[in-house]
Structure 1
């Protein structure tokens, strides 16, 4: 069986594991660990506190600093409605591979594992790193980064195989996710002055976020990202129990995607001042913000060995994307990092998600080129 067909067969097995972020990924991680160990890798599994979520690190070559990390995540988003076939059963049709996670990003992971025998003979350190819970705040990568900082390995370069249509991407925005909760005092709607309306507090907060979004747009009207400025988006507001009851509880789920750390710091300072003013104006109002994830962006840098190496292999010019990944976490550990993976981000998180077979083939060629260079 060709390496291409091996990758498709493995992708079919991976898709059959429904590793939605609210479920365990352990069975899939253990299956990949067994396969990689059989191909000569030194394999380590790093479970979270529950034991249900696992990071996998499989290393080939000498036990030394340097070399290359190939990075992917094992979790997928929920399938949702509107599929033409079972989302957790690979369907091959008209040059496409349909299934949840084929594009984002089990296709890249399958290609890396299929190429493992090649990495085992290239003579340089190569590490396959597959994480849990990227889709809900890069929880696995953040935990693994702490271990790598203490214990190694310490690769020189990282390639994150998020879907870029195999274009080399050298930068992306950060992704910060929050839930802000408001605690008031409920009561009868006929006497609003006797309560503290958490729903109204949440509405005022959402309007403040909208104003801050306009400020961020004015701060950076031009740039290479699309859009150029940092963004703020409110995803969900929940409050109250009935129209004639003063809402005692409310919450706003929101996100920020800063271009740099200064913009995130500006928003935090402005919100701290706003919340202090709200508490002063409405004694008894509680405001608390839970941080679900503050994932750094990937900073474009003049010197980037991973970018230069990939451009030699796949060609083209480096670009930027607005979506977040684990790349900034690896960059913060000192690695030169880029994105380059099969598939189109437009297919991710949608019904009938698919990966084009041609994209998988190009990815395998790229990995073969890396092995030859190393």
Structure 2
């Protein structure tokens, strides 16, 4: 049972485009990456299940399992990448390029490269000494809707005891993180000629009042909720994008604002949605049906873990790093619904994620390989301490 070398797997994964985007012109299938992983997993003796997402044609999840029964360790990652701006890249995003002791490529650390680490580690462990199931999970559309992970959360028979999600953390275990909500606030006014303001209803002016309410809500969140584990200990609310009107001499009939909110563990998405609705309710009462709030994607809840969990303690011991919390979000809250102890931990730095010339520092390869191999061995193999 063999797989290509570590670098060969890395090269082939990067060379298979798998962009996910809400814009259909940029959105690509991840089928090529899934087919590579399926072939390599099968060569290592895994039983492979590939499924097309129910509501996303051309997007696929993969579950590969070696070993019988429930329990064991699942190693999980997403197969998609963000879009890229070709004018800002100095390297071909779909070619693994080595320069200045760095490996450049789209997905090199976020996060297709993780699968090369995992498969390389498994190939070096003696199959006859495996004592618990090993599962490899590869999901679709993490960078947009997390639809792949949400489908996995409903899987009827997938029951690992532990899961490591290999997002780039520089091999520091992450035991908890914030959630993510993106909402569109749409103002519907009444357009008309600017020379007669009373005959219209200016959506920009209403949005001005809405923004004032949102800034009040932001302060309320900051003062009311806090979790000290986080560098930014309160829920955040960001005004990210706004567009309204079409001409200086017309009363603006429509204005839309996109906001980003990051809920803390213990603060449910439903509560935040209710607070947002309550904030704009007085304006809707004055201007009936003028303000609507729409989720731009399924809200992602916060991930709540514990530093007392056995997997966290094992990861801390093997990496020599203390588990931390982070402000970004991952598929962890959905994977956790399978009932497994879950951490986020993988090679590469989050500082390079979603950046032009994304790269993995080559001096991190061997230490990362060592820790990943040890995590798998301690969870699924006979280990001589």
- Tell whether the structures are fold-level matches, with TM greater than 0.5: yes
- 2:338 is the counterpart of 1:333: yes
Please point out which of 173, 176, 201 is paired with 1:171. 176
1:105 aligned counterpart, secondary structure: coil
The 3 A distance-change label for structure 1 pair 359 and 206 is farther
Residues in 2 aligned to 1:221 and 1:58: alpha-carbon distance in whole angstroms: 39
Question: Corresponding residue for 1:110?
Answer: 116
Deviation at 1:191, TM superposition (A): 2.2
Question: Corresponding residue for 1:124?
Answer: 132
The 3 A distance-change label for structure 1 pair 119 and 247 is farther
- 2:140 is the counterpart of 1:140: no
1:104 aligned counterpart, secondary structure: coil
Q: Is the 8 A contact 1:61 1:120 kept in 2?
A: no
1:152 aligned counterpart, secondary structure: coil
Residues in 2 aligned to 1:199 and 1:157: alpha-carbon distance in whole angstroms: 50
- 2:52 is the counterpart of 1:53: no
Residues in 1 aligned to 2:49 and 2:256: alpha-carbon distance in whole angstroms: 40
Deviation at 1:120, TM superposition (A): 7.8
Question: Corresponding residue for 1:91?
Answer: 97
Deviation at 1:240, TM superposition (A): 1.5
- 2:31 is the counterpart of 1:26: yes
Write out aligned runs for 1:192-231 (5 A): 192-220=197-225, 223-231=228-236
Question: Corresponding residue for 2:297?
Answer: 292
The number of residue pairs the alignment matches comes to 368
Q: Deviations over 1:174-230 (max 9, x none)?
A: 112222222222221222222222233333323322221111111246712011111
Deviation at 1:137, TM superposition (A): 3.2
Greater mean alpha carbon deviation, residues 278-287 or residues 24-33: 278-287
The 3 A distance-change label for structure 1 pair 339 and 32 is same
The 3 A distance-change label for structure 1 pair 371 and 221 is closer
Residues in 2 aligned to 1:260 and 1:329: alpha-carbon distance in whole angstroms: 14
Deviation at 1:263, TM superposition (A): 6.3
- 2:325 is the counterpart of 1:320: yes
Please point out which of 22, 44, 55 is paired with 1:39. 44
Deviation at 1:363, TM superposition (A): 2.4
Residues in 1 aligned to 2:48 and 2:188: alpha-carbon distance in whole angstroms: 47
Question: Corresponding residue for 1:66?
Answer: 71
Deviation at 1:111, TM superposition (A): 1.2
Question: Corresponding residue for 2:383?
Answer: none
Q: Is the 8 A contact 1:216 1:230 kept in 2?
A: yes
Q: Is the 8 A contact 1:107 1:360 kept in 2?
A: no
Deviation at 1:322, TM superposition (A): 1.0
Question: Corresponding residue for 1:252?
Answer: 257
Residues in 1 aligned to 2:260 and 2:332: alpha-carbon distance in whole angstroms: 19
Question: Corresponding residue for 1:16?
Answer: 15
Query: Comparing both structures, which one devotes a greater share of its residues to helix?
Result: 1
Q: Is the 8 A contact 1:119 1:126 kept in 2?
A: no
Question: What RMSD, in angstroms, separates the aligned Cα atoms of the two structures?
Answer: 2.1
- 2:360 is the counterpart of 1:355: yes
Deviation at 1:11, TM superposition (A): 1.4
Q: Is the 8 A contact 1:196 1:285 kept in 2?
A: no
Deviation at 1:344, TM superposition (A): 0.7
Residues in 2 aligned to 1:221 and 1:128: alpha-carbon distance in whole angstroms: 35
**TM-score when scaled to structure 1?**
0.92
The 3 A distance-change label for structure 1 pair 360 and 91 is same
Q: Deviations over 1:7-26 (max 9, x none)?
A: 22211111112211121111
Greater mean alpha carbon deviation, residues 86-95 or residues 264-273: 264-273
Residues in 2 aligned to 1:135 and 1:203: alpha-carbon distance in whole angstroms: 31
Residues in 2 aligned to 1:193 and 1:46: alpha-carbon distance in whole angstroms: 57
Question: Corresponding residue for 2:24?
Answer: none
**TM-score when scaled to structure 2?**
0.89
Deviation at 1:41, TM superposition (A): 1.0
Contiguous gaps of at least 5 residues in structure 1: none
Question: Corresponding residue for 2:23?
Answer: none
Q: Is the 8 A contact 1:163 1:340 kept in 2?
A: yes
